[in-house]
């Protein structure tokens, strides 16, 4: 064995101790107190004892032909590394001795810890017994002291109570004497004051007499004022009666106009019947003539519908004001020109057409009621009489800039509504606009009551349904405009229930869909 530098065993052991000390600081109390599971420390220690000698290792090889050369090479390499391996064996031996000593020292510490724990438990039990005895002794002493203190307080309070009562008797006697003297003095003062009051009463009576005289004179002036107020009130009532009489006469004139309209319609109907009868004689009625006469049977309902709309629809000015919301859409789309004219389906009394005419926009209307058509023509509005589907089918493709319909689609059966949407898409030019307004059934008041003011309404149409139908039949970028909320103030609360209540009962009364042709 070659001689080499000696291994510093003490330094290695000291370094090992420092490493263990640093590791001990990093470990938690739980890690220090816990032992390796399944005796892992003992297994590691046994492995350290059995494997510290890395020099005398038996070499083997699984190869049949090259096995012996490989083993020989390993043994030769071990001879060459003998000084290094001997140093490593010495280090491993020292390390094993240190770890074994630490292991034995740890077992001693564990035994001492267990003994200390048993001692601590005994001390706890002993202290608990002493504490209970001490508490019992203190309770007894405090009970005795409490009784003594209470007895002393009772004796002291009895003496103080007697002295206090005697003092109060003396003070009350003195105060009673003083009160008698004060009462006598008050009697004397009251006699003097009664005499003074007699004098003041005489003066007050004279002042009251003068006041009454002044009030009588003031009443005369108030009477003149009251007469003037009464005169003004009578004049106001007369003016109100005059206004009521004027309103009543206006209503009577309106009824006379309606009756006159009905008489004209009846006269027209009779004339048509006579003409058809004259055509029949001496031949029997043809199918076409029978259809004409049957159609005339519905003419009285047209006058009734006009009266119904006048009563429930609102004034012309109100309807025109409501329609102004659509003017920005019309102008933005460039409608109302000769190239992009507007067609209003079911124009009724023509408020929308009149508003467009005032704005200088070109438009014409269509309605099936001859009385409404005649009223629009009297206002010099371009209106035709006819069925909307039949008329739309007469128009060429892409011939209109805009198609509008206010409160018309709720009158149509479903198949007619689909045909109307199809024809609208067909006649619109690219960039054209379609606007259809109808009652909003999401408003509970409208959906359950006001919608049925018009007996010709078929059924309410939810906004999302109409939007879907418009898009399904070819309109693009279909928007929903919610319009005309009631003027009643909603519930002013921020709760979810209040918000839903406002939405359903104070929401918009109408809505409109606005679709475009691309």
Which pLDDT value is given to residue 233?
A: 78
Residue-wise pLDDT for 206-259, tens only, equals 776 677 667 667 666 776 777 777 777 767 776 777 677 777 676 666 666 666
Rounded CA separation 432/515 (Å): 9
What confidence category does residue 34 fall into, taking pLDDT thresholds of 50, 70 and 90? Answer: very low
User: For all residues of the chain together, what is the average pLDDT?
Assistant: 79
Ordered DSSP codes for 378-435: HTT--EEES-HHHHHTTSPTT-EEEEEEES-GGGS-HHHHHHHHHHHHHHEEEEEEEE
Mean pLDDT, to the nearest integer, of 115-138?
82
pLDDT at 364 over 50: yes
Residue with tokens 């009563």: 311
Which pLDDT value is given to residue 393?
A: 96
Residue-wise pLDDT for 90-121, tens only, equals 777 777 778 778 878 878 887 888 887 888 78
Residue-wise pLDDT for 340-363, tens only, equals 999 999 999 999 999 999 999 999
406: which strand partners?
437
Rounded CA separation 161/153 (Å): 12
**Which of 134 and 274 is assigned the larger pLDDT?**
134
Lowest mean pLDDT among 51-65, 131-145, 259-273, 294-308: 294-308
Q: How many CA atoms lie within 13 A of 28 on its CB side?
A: 3
| Residue 9 CB partners (closer than 8 Å, separation 6+) | 90, 91, 94
Which pLDDT value is given to residue 179?
A: 74
pLDDT at 494 over 60: yes
pLDDT at 31 over 50: no
| Residue 515 CB partners (closer than 8 Å, separation 6+) | 433, 434, 470, 471, 475, 476, 477, 478, 479
What is the pTM (predicted TM-score) of this model?
0.47
- CA atoms 26, 30, 35, 38: torsion sign: negative
Closest CA to 432 of 465, 494, 475: 475
**Which of 53 and 470 is assigned the larger pLDDT?**
470
Which pLDDT value is given to residue 35?
A: 43
What confidence category does residue 17 fall into, taking pLDDT thresholds of 50, 70 and 90? Answer: low
Residue 437 backbone dihedrals phi, psi, to 5 degrees: -105, 145
CB 441 within 8 A of CB 462: yes
Rounded CA separation 446/264 (Å): 35
What confidence category does residue 455 fall into, taking pLDDT thresholds of 50, 70 and 90? Answer: confident
Ordered DSSP codes for 429-497: EEEEEEEEEEE-TTSHHHHHTGGGGSTT------HHHHHHHHHHTT-EEEEEEEE---SSPPP---SHH
pLDDT at 467 over 90: yes
Which pLDDT value is given to residue 55?
A: 65
Q: What is the Cα gyration radius of the chain?
A: 58
Q: What is the DSSP letter of 324?
A: G
Closest CA to 424 of 440, 403, 438, 407: 403
512: which strand partners?
437, 481
What confidence category does residue 278 fall into, taking pLDDT thresholds of 50, 70 and 90? Answer: low
pLDDT at 294 over 60: no
Which pLDDT value is given to residue 391?
A: 96
Q: How many CB atoms lie within 10 A of CB 373?
A: 21
Instruction: Tally the residues of the chain.
Output: 518
- CA atoms 34, 35, 36, 37: torsion sign: negative
**What domains are there in the chain, each with its CATH number?**
314-516 (3.40.50.150)
CB 381 within 8 A of CB 354: yes
pLDDT at 28 over 50: no
Rounded CA separation 422/427 (Å): 9
Which pLDDT value is given to residue 29?
A: 38
Retrieve residue 279's tokens: 């055509």
Rounded CA separation 171/455 (Å): 97
User: 43-66 burial by CB neighbour count: b if 16+ within 10 A, else e?
Assistant: eebeeeeeebeeeeeeeeeeeeee
CB 409 within 8 A of CB 346: no
Which pLDDT value is given to residue 397?
A: 95
What confidence category does residue 144 fall into, taking pLDDT thresholds of 50, 70 and 90? Answer: confident
At how many degrees (to 10) do helices 82-280 and 40-51 cross?
140
Burial of 424 (0-12, 13-18, 19+ CB in 10 A): buried
Residue 192 backbone dihedrals phi, psi, to 5 degrees: -65, -40
């Amino acid at each position: 064995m070659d001689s080499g530098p000696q291994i510093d065993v003490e330094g290695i052991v000291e370094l090992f101790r420092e490493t263990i000390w640093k590791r001990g600081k990093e470990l938690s109390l739980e890690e220090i107190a816990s032992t390796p599971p399944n005796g892992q420390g003992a297994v590691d220690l046994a492995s350290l004892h059995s494997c510290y000698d890395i020099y005398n290792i038996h070499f083997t090889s699984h190869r049949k032909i090259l096995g012996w050369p490989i083993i020989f090479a390993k043994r030769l390499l071990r001879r060459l590394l003998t000084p290094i391996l001997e140093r490593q064996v010495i280090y491993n031996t020292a390390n094993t001795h240190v770890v074994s000593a630490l292991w034995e020292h740890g077992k001693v510490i564990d035994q001492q810890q267990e003994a200390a724990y048993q001692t601590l438990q005994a001390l706890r039990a002993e202290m608990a017994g002493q504490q209970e005895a001490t508490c019992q002794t203190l309770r007894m002493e405090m009970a005795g002291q409490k009784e003594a203190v209470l007895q002393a307080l009772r004796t002291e309070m009895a003496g103080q109570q007697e002295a206090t009562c005697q003092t109060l008797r003396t003070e009350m006697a003195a105060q009673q004497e003083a009160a008698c003297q004060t009462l006598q003095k008050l009697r004397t003062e009251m006699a003097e004051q009664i005499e003074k009051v007699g004098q003041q009463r005489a003066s007050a009576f004279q002042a009251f007499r003068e006041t009454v005289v002044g009030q009588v004179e003031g009443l005369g002036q108030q009477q003149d004022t009251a007469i003037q107020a009464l005169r003004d009130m009578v004049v106001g009532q007369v003016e109100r009666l005059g206004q009521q009489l004027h309103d009543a006469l206006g209503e009577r004139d309106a009824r006379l106009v309606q009756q006159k309209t009905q008489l004209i319609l009846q006269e027209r109907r009779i004339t048509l019947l006579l003409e058809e009868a004259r055509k029949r004689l001496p031949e029997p009625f043809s199918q076409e003539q029978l259809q004409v006469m049957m159609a005339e049977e519905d003419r009285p309902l047209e006058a009734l519908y006009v009266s119904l709309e006048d009563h429930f629809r609102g004034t012309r000015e109100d309807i025109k004001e409501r329609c102004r919301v659509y003017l920005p859409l019309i102008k933005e789309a460039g409608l109302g020109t000769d190239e992009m004219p507007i067609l209003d389906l079911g124009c009724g009394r023509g408020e929308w057409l009149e508003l467009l005419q005032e704005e200088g926009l070109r438009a014409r209307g269509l309605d099936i009621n001859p009385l409404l058509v005649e009223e629009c023509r009297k206002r010099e509005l371009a209106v035709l009489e006819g069925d909307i589907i039949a008329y739309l089918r007469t128009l060429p493709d892409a011939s209109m800039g805009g198609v509008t319909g206010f409160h018309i689609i709720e009158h149509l059966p479903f198949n007619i509504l689909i045909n109307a949407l199809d024809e609208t898409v067909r006649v619109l030019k690219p960039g054209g606009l379609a606007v259809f307004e109808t009652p909003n059934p999401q408003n509970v008041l409208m959906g359950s009551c006001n919608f049925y003011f018009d007996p010709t309404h078929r059924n309410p149409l939810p906004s999302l349904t109409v939007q879907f139908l418009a898009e399904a039949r070819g309109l693009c970028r279909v928007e929903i405009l919610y319009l005309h909320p009631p003027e009643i103030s909603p519930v002013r609360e921020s709760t979810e229930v209040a918000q839903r209540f406002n939405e359903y009962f104070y929401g918009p009364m109408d809505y409109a869909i606005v679709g475009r042709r691309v």
